[in-house]
Amino acid sequence: MSQFKINSITDKSGYCGPVIAGVSTNNSTGCMIIPAGPTEHRGGRGRAVFAGGMTPSVVDTMDKVEIATTGNAVDFGNMSAVALNHGGTGMCDSTRGVIKFGTTPDTSTVSSTLEYVIISSSGGTNDFGDATVAKRETNCLSNATRGLIFGGTITPETNVIEFITIATTGSANGFGSLLQAARGMGGVGNATIGLIASGYNGSSYINTIEFVTITTGGDSEDFGDLSGARMNTAAVGSSTRAVFGGGYTSNPHINSLEYVEFATKGNVTDFGDFSVGGGERGATSNNTRGVFGGQHSGSSPNRLNNIEYITIASVGNATDFGDLTSARSGAVGLGDAHGGIGR
């Protein structure tokens, strides 16, 4: 029986690998060209998932978009239970997105539940573990390995920071403490630094930005200030820049976007504006774009289905991306091309 000799093969993207000798080729390199197969999402390439929220009823809906494109969201699947999260960012690596549940639909019971999705594969949530305590109006940030859960309220507000290892299911562990107990904060991380901004401490709104070193446990430290006090701001980032957007006080609902550089402590600089003021946006990013889904606008209709995006490196106003499958606020944003880790 004769044997084939392996030389090289080129796919449509230009990759040249093994090919069977004697098979006819059609390019100058002598490599056979293989037609590209059906387009499908691959982990780490930049999918955003917006999970849960209020319509005003608390929902278990999850939607997905591809961050590098524009267009309306499509169905991703459903969470195992309805859970109000008050917007913000989940904890993600290039494969998993982890969601910290908030409250039951009647807001009478707070949850410690953590669940995860495989972002490249549409479907429901899976059990991950539990936070150290049940609380609502928490928020999260992550690098490619570790996720942090911070703040929230268990009546009164808490200053607890806890962490998980995203690739390993299990319950959260203690990390450190915030400078002050608060709920409704926003957070974003790069490979090393996590920034936590805005919030409500039980008596007043907060304008401070705190930072932690994600890779090591410890208490947060002062980084700088937002331009004004607020809660439920959204946050996205690249490996070098963090952008904070929107939020609200008792009145008004804020439409401004502001940024800092991770490497330099200090106050924010103006970035641009959203089309509509408001908070409780779901948010996630890749190293180029930040996307924001849904919001509480403070005017009728007070829950919107809008998705907007920014180019993180270029200051300017947010641009229309498309629409969620339904109007809601308080969705959690997940992404497999995490903004802190350029992919």
How far is the C-alpha of 286 from the C-alpha of 121, rounded, in Å?
A: 18
Q: Do 238 and 263 reside in the same domain of the chain?
A: yes
Q: Do 148 and 233 reside in the same domain of the chain?
A: yes
How far is the C-alpha of 307 from the C-alpha of 269, rounded, in Å?
A: 23
How far is the C-alpha of 34 from the C-alpha of 265, rounded, in Å?
A: 51
- Strand 9-11 versus strand 32-34 pairing type: parallel
How far is the C-alpha of 166 from the C-alpha of 26, rounded, in Å?
A: 45
pLDDT at res. 9: 38
pLDDT at res. 28: 44
Domain membership of residue 260 (yes or no) is yes
How far is the C-alpha of 50 from the C-alpha of 329, rounded, in Å?
A: 10
How far is the C-alpha of 126 from the C-alpha of 59, rounded, in Å?
A: 17
DSSP state of 35: P
Q: Do 137 and 227 reside in the same domain of the chain?
A: yes
Number of neighbouring beta carbons within 10 Å of residue 126: 13
How far is the C-alpha of 198 from the C-alpha of 62, rounded, in Å?
A: 26
Looking up residue 145, the CATH number of its domain turns out to be: 2.120.10.80
Q: Do 198 and 156 reside in the same domain of the chain?
A: yes
Nearest Cα to 184, choosing from 250, 114, 108?
A: 250
Number of neighbouring beta carbons within 10 Å of residue 298: 16
Domain membership of residue 277 (yes or no) is yes
pLDDT at res. 20: 35
pLDDT along the chain (343 residues), means of 10: 39 39 43 39 72 88 97 96 76 94 73 93 95 91 95 92 97 97 96 97 97 96 98 96 96 94 98 96 95 91 95 98 96 81 48
Q: For the whole prediction, is pTM greater than 0.75?
A: yes
Domain membership of residue 340 (yes or no) is no
Residue 205 domain boundaries: 47-335
Q: Do 9 and 118 reside in the same domain of the chain?
A: no
Q: Do 247 and 329 reside in the same domain of the chain?
A: yes
First to last CA, the chain: 46
pLDDT at res. 107: 66
Q: Do 66 and 176 reside in the same domain of the chain?
A: yes
Number of neighbouring beta carbons within 10 Å of residue 262: 22
Domain membership of residue 324 (yes or no) is yes
Q: Do 260 and 196 reside in the same domain of the chain?
A: yes
How far is the C-alpha of 228 from the C-alpha of 341, rounded, in Å?
A: 29
Asked if 186 contacts 235 with a C-beta cutoff of 8 angstroms, the reply is: yes
Domain membership of residue 341 (yes or no) is no
DSSP string of 190-231, one letter each residue: -SSEEEEE--B-SSSBEEEEEEEETTS----EEEEEEEEEEB
Domain membership of residue 196 (yes or no) is yes
Q: Do 17 and 114 reside in the same domain of the chain?
A: no
**46: which residues sit within 8 A by CB, 6+ positions away?**
66, 67, 68, 286, 335, 336, 337, 343
Sheet holding 241-245, edge to edge: 234-237, 241-245, 256-261, 269-273
pLDDT at res. 55: 87
Q: Do 209 and 326 reside in the same domain of the chain?
A: yes
How far is the C-alpha of 293 from the C-alpha of 324, rounded, in Å?
A: 7
How far is the C-alpha of 283 from the C-alpha of 39, rounded, in Å?
A: 25
**250: which residues sit within 8 A by CB, 6+ positions away?**
none
Nearest Cα to 199, choosing from 151, 156, 163?
A: 151
Q: Do 88 and 164 reside in the same domain of the chain?
A: yes
Domain count within the chain: 2
Q: Do 29 and 57 reside in the same domain of the chain?
A: no
Domain membership of residue 307 (yes or no) is yes
Domain membership of residue 343 (yes or no) is no
- Token pair, residue 285, equals 């990013």
Q: Angle at CA 130, nearest 5°, toward 127 and 133? A: 155
